[in-house]
Amino acid sequence: MKYYWSFVIPCLLFSSLLTAQTGFREGYIILPEGDTVKGQIDNVNYYQNSIECRFKNKTADSVHTYLPDQLKAYRFTNGKYYISRQLEKGSIFLEFLVNGQLNVFFYQDKDGENHYLLSKDSVPIRELEYVNKVITVDGSMYAYESKRTIGLLEYYTADCPALKYEIEGFKKPDHRNLIELAEKYHRMVCTDHQCIIYEKKIPFSVKLNISPGSNIFFKNVYEDKKGRIYPSIGGSIVFNQPQRNENYYMGIGYVYEADMLESIPLSFIYSESGRKFSPYYSFSIDINHFGLFQEYQAGVKFEQKGFSVLCLAGLKTEYFVVPFAFSPRLCLLYDMKNFGID
């Protein structure tokens, strides 16, 4: 047991320290009077970025939090660009995806739902409302898909009838299809200059995780395992969720432990990229045992040129709250692009 705590305490303390400093990247803010101030901006997540801007001036270590009505805009260097706008629900920072004859904006609400808005010089900003759900009519269930998105897109592009056929086949709006449409519309109606695409492209990422470790049982779950240490080896495929959050990942894997114990963990992961040291958190459900067992993990990730080393401390539970084993692991995480998988 002393061995375990000598491993887990440094992992948890270091990951907590990194979390406290996480996400700050080079960028600048634009004050209401138009002045630009360079510094570092906290890149938290899509929702948090839309309601506040946490900024550190280069001349001070303190963090100042700006609300949308206190800034004109802010931008990460060579990255995402946010502008302040007043909507019916209040002031908000909108991510500026496309600046052209048809402007495209984006934000995500606290429930993780994506919202897209359009504007152009002669037409005010409007949200693309998309609804796809099952409704009940006279006791029968029907699939309902709103056509409001198509109507609004046709209204904004009425001066370009060549796009009508393409718009009529439009489904759920997302980054890709709206940027492609806005760029095409701009090329058709404007030959003087190109539109500006501010969107920071987050490529689909697939990683291979190799995770040797051990399980230290302090409660009998598998027969008489209490007090024993069992080595384990596992692997998983991990892929990102860029439309939800650029730091969210999901994974599916297989773990074999001594004495013929097997698990198939379905994992939900928070992991940052682009920093040498960063925190790493995950929660997994063992679908091999119908979700009866779970594991909570926290630790530190060291990233270097396509591969990462993870130093993790895990706690295995049953029924989500009853712990039965510690699980220290030292893992290797490889970016599959290094193996020619794009």
Question: H helices within the chain, ranges in order?
Answer: 2-20, 46-51, 148-156, 164-168, 175-189
Distance of CA 111 to the CA centre of its chain: 13
Q: pLDDT tens-digit profile of 52-74?
A: 999 998 777 789 999 999 999 99
- The residue ranges of every structural domain in the chain are 22-197, 203-337
Q: Are 53 and 82 in contact (CB under 8 A)?
A: yes
Distance from first CA to last CA of the chain, Å, rounded? 43
Q: Are 27 and 41 in contact (CB under 8 A)?
A: yes
Could you tell me which residue, 147 or 14, shows the higher pLDDT?
Answer: 147
Q: What percent of the chain has pLDDT over 70?
A: 86
Q: What is the CATH architecture assignment of 203-337? A: Beta Barrel (2.40)
Residue whose C-alpha is closest to residue 100's, from 186, 191, 188, 192: 186
* pTM score above 0.75: no
- Under the banding of pLDDT at 50, 70 and 90, the label for residue 4 is very low
- Under the banding of pLDDT at 50, 70 and 90, the label for residue 338 is very low
Q: What type of residue is 331?
A: C
| Residue that has been written with the tokens 């200059």 in this structure | 193
Q: What is the pLDDT of residue 228?
A: 79
Q: pLDDT tens-digit profile of 265-277?
A: 999 998 877 678 8
**DSSP 8-state code for residue 252:** E
Q: Kindly report the CA angle at 195 between 192 and 196, in degrees rounded to 5? A: 140
CA-based torsion, 256, 258, 260, 262: positive or negative: negative
Q: pLDDT tens-digit profile of 67-106?
A: 999 999 999 998 899 999 999 889 999 999 999 999 999 9
For the chain, the helix, strand and coil percentages under 3-state DSSP, each to the nearest 5: 20, 50, 30
Q: What is the pLDDT of residue 154?
A: 93
Q: Output the six-digit token pair for 161.
A: 């009838």
Output the average pLDDT for the chain: 84
Residue whose C-alpha is closest to residue 235's, from 212, 215, 269, 258: 212
